[in-house]
Structure 1
């Protein structure tokens, strides 16, 4: 291969450079990956269905720029009823098409699936930004099923200077290990709490069964039935008393009406007879008055 150098001023077109030359030039000191700021650049998020969202962001592959300026929805193929699958979200530079675009790289169904490998050759170069774990029978993707690969320099990494490069793979692996350990601890704690609760409930229920044995339950039922009978008798007595009070009130009204209008005239002298009634002993009055005492 002949020697090459540049970039020099062109005199009458004698120093023309291809885009591939510029791409190689920038790739020599700018590494592949996703730009780190803001932290959501090219992040993959769940969408509560069988799609995921690629957030806006910029990427860099072998000296070529990738820009996504809005949320991009990516479709995930239907899950299998029995087997699982891992799909990988990639930024793919296709040399023949002269473009970089986001794709869903579909995995293979298996009981213990693995993500598809990245293609990196003269025809195509891929950055893996996320893995999607598709459970058997799944009808939606949750965020817990998405593994972020952006900080893993084996699959993606962040754009950096290749001379003074920071390998983020160790940081990613450490975070991933912490996350898995935290999830495992939380699962264990929840299982322990559920077991303790179940044990306490079983103990309480067993004690309740001991207290409410057959004789005790029978006695309680008899007491309840007796109370119901007594309530029925009381309700009947109250009804009868209401009826008697109604009759007594009618009699009193009639007597008071008669007492108020009764007047007897004897000869030329008017003799007024006062007629009253009540339940107590009579008090006051004059000779000739009439008092009717009754019981309720």
Structure 2
């Protein structure tokens, strides 16, 4: 039948409808994606050990509804001992079981660690809400390991009314939370004049109507001088020649008044905030205003990340090593590429060379060798390593 209309009163069984008919009708009014409700919109956060938590929220998949009314813990498979991988958290519609559930898709360990592909066919339909970076030997997950993909319309996206656009505050919950948390700490990071100036800009932003552009694509940020909030969903569009501060998806807030403008860019995954000014028809350089420097540690060592992209990793360990083979050392954080420099100092045993050679072939680990030992037996080796490269 090429044409079909519904719903009509049934007369002797001549107007029978299925669940697919109902779902199709719902799809006329509600798009597929995450519902921008007042809850946490299925935000994924770290759990205990190798687990993540899918927080409360709702979704719609081709007319089928999904509700998660309490935090849901999902356990990840054991990490590889030598290679990283990327897992994905999806909301999956399963026609065979007639259910929708949150599911972990396990990636394949490799040096590049690509994320697993989502499934969308007649049986399954996936909404990818997060990617999880599982480094080699990981025993826990941090917030830095979680990439939020809810606003990426190619794999998830926001469910909005087909006949009405979504409210700005609903779409931007994750950005607003980052911005408000940062602003609460301004007294410790900004002087009085800077804090007052930023507050005045926020007040101006609140006084004006906000326009949400969920499909910001290839626009040059130099040309955006209208007060409002703008969304860039795709990292590939956020290029320096379009005057983005970093190559990252995120949210742009612009305040324009009396011939002057301020832009604040909030990166989606890192949570960092950049700011620049427009005056006398010239834009200033971008300045990262939060956080200025980040650092952390895990069972593999410590790291410091600087706003310009520099990262320094420090490792001190004692491992069992065969002198003739060397050892593979996993960094506490992955580098953006293999153009880093690593210096290894072997403290014990004393008959080994003080500085070993390194093989720079992976972003997650480095192999050091030439220990000046000929033994094929295992020995306990105490060493320190400093690696300097880029995290972005």
Tell me, what secondary structure is at the counterpart of 1:59? strand
Would you tell me which structure has more helix in proportion to its own residues?
1
Q: CA deviation at 1:26?
A: 1.4
- In 2, the alpha carbon distance for the partners of 1:7 and 1:124 equals 27
Pairwise CA RMSD of aligned residues? 2.7
Is the contact made by 2:86 and 2:113 (CA closer than 8 Å) also made in structure 1? yes
Tell me, what secondary structure is at the counterpart of 1:111? coil
- In 1, the alpha carbon distance for the partners of 2:308 and 2:12 equals 76
Q: CA deviation at 1:36?
A: 0.9
Q: CA deviation at 1:140?
A: 0.1
- In 2, the alpha carbon distance for the partners of 1:137 and 1:9 equals 62
Name the count of aligned residue pairs. 193
- In 2, the alpha carbon distance for the partners of 1:19 and 1:56 equals 26
The match for 1:88 is 88
The alignment status of 1:175 with 2:221, answered yes or no, reads no
Q: CA deviation at 1:144?
A: 0.8
The match for 2:331 is none
Equivalent residues in 2 for 1:13-28, closer than 5 Å = 13-28=13-28
The match for 1:11 is 11
The alignment status of 1:101 with 2:101, answered yes or no, reads yes
The match for 2:156 is 156
Gaps spanning 5+ residues in structure 1: where?
195-296
Q: CA deviation at 1:27?
A: 1.2
TM-score w.r.t. length of structure 1: 0.59
Gaps spanning 5+ residues in structure 2: where?
167-212, 217-230, 235-248, 252-264, 273-287, 294-304, 313-392
The match for 1:45 is 45
**Deviation by residue 1:172-231 (Cα, 9 ceiling, x = unmatched):** 343188535759973236999x9xxxxxxxxxxxxxxxxxxxxxxxxxxxxxxxxxxxxx
- In 1, the alpha carbon distance for the partners of 2:91 and 2:159 equals 14
**Larger Rg over CA atoms:** 1
Q: CA deviation at 1:19?
A: 0.6
Would you tell me which structure has more strand in proportion to its own residues?
2
Higher relative contact order (CA 8 A, sep 6+): 1
**Deviation by residue 1:5-49 (Cα, 9 ceiling, x = unmatched):** 111111233211101011112113311111112251211110141
Equivalent residues in 2 for 1:113-262, closer than 5 Å = 113-162=113-162, 168=214, 170=216, 171=231, 172-173=233-234, 174-175=249-250, 178-179=266-267, 186=293, 187-188=305-306
Tell me, what secondary structure is at the counterpart of 1:58? strand
The match for 1:72 is 72
